[in-house]
Amino acid sequence: MGLKGVVRKLLESQGYRVELIQPEPENIYNQDGLRSIHNHDFMNDARFQSAYTRGMLASEKDYTWHWRVHVGLWAASVAAKLPGDFIECGVNRGFLSSAIMHDLNWDEFDKTFWLLDTFAGIDPRFVSDEEKTSGILERNEGEFYVGGVDIVRKNFSEWKNVQIVVGAIPETLAQVACDQVAYLHLDMNCAPPEVAAFEYFWPKLVPGGVVLLDDYAYRGYESQKAAMDRCAMAVGVRILSLPTGQGLMIKP
């Protein structure tokens, strides 16, 4: 028995209750609703840092989304090897898409990145009653959502193969002129347009194509999870729930 064990026994024999508290490891990931002692040395990787920095250039701030961006960059790297375009529904200032395009060196690919958004926040016509009751439209009033597309166009002018589609989903879906989709990111913070986009693009997704759901497991976005679970069940695929709050699907 070591010294700690001897001291513990001694204290316990005198009626003390002894709890051994493990010292916290120094390197803990603790942000964006996720606390983990697991390895996250991707944060020190120069390539990751460069992509993340390009995302911040678009958003003009650090959302502290590192692990989410790590997942997004990985998903995009898988999809980049497949035929088909990339689509993001819910772009805002373009944080994740900019990071991805920077990371992949987008103009080297013969693919279009379709970016769909109102660029004016959530459209109240396409929000469920449950979401309205939970105060989603009040959250729309804050400064998080970009108030116009000009600054977004300027951000993405760095790349050639980009199409920005302005307006509310589902109304704009038919403007996406592509038959094959390799990567679909749904990030609209409300269920009805995400369901519409999923149902529209799933048949166009190539085998092995990736669907990344930004809010699937995120606390406070339960109605999106319920809606996407129904979508997944309808196509016979399961969603991987990630501790980042994201969800991931692969088209068989």
Ligand X SMILES: C[S@@+](CC[C@H](N)C(=O)[O-])C[C@H]1O[C@@H](n2cnc3c(N)ncnc32)[C@H](O)[C@@H]1O
Q: Contact 209/196 with Cβ under 8 angstroms?
A: no
Radius of gyration of the chain (CA): 22
Nearest Cα to 86, choosing from 235, 232, 186?
Answer: 186
Calculated CA dihedral for residues 81, 218, 88, 212, nearest 10 degrees: 20
Tell me: does residue 149 bind ligand X (CB under 6 A): no
Residue closer to ligand X by CB (options 41, 129) is 129
Which one of residues 52, 113, 145, 201 is an interface residue with ligand X (CB under 6 A)?
145
- Report angle CA 240, 75, 30 to the nearest 5 degrees: 70
Residue closer to ligand X by CB (options 126, 200) is 126
Tell me: does residue 117 bind ligand X (CB under 6 A): yes
CB of 20 to ligand X, least distance (A): 43
CB of 59 to ligand X, least distance (A): 6
Q: Contact 234/198 with Cβ under 8 angstroms?
A: no
**Beta sheet of 162-166, edge-to-edge order:** 162-166, 113-117, 85-89, 181-186, 205-213, 247-250, 240-241
Q: Which residues inside 64-103 make contact with ligand X, applying CB under 6 A? A: 90-93, 95-96
The CA distances from residue 28 to 38, 114, 252, in Å, are 8, 36, 36
Residue closer to ligand X by CB (options 103, 117) is 117
By CB under 6 A, how many residues form the interface with ligand X? 22
Q: Which residues inside 157-216 make contact with ligand X, applying CB under 6 A? A: 168-169, 187-190, 193
Which one of residues 85, 112, 118, 246 is an interface residue with ligand X (CB under 6 A)?
118
Q: Contact 152/125 with Cβ under 8 angstroms?
A: no
CB of 235 to ligand X, least distance (A): 21
Which one of residues 122, 162, 213, 227 is an interface residue with ligand X (CB under 6 A)?
122
CB of 123 to ligand X, least distance (A): 4
Positions that interact with ligand X (CB under 6 A) = 59, 90-93, 95-96, 116-118, 121-123, 126, 145, 168-169, 187-190, 193
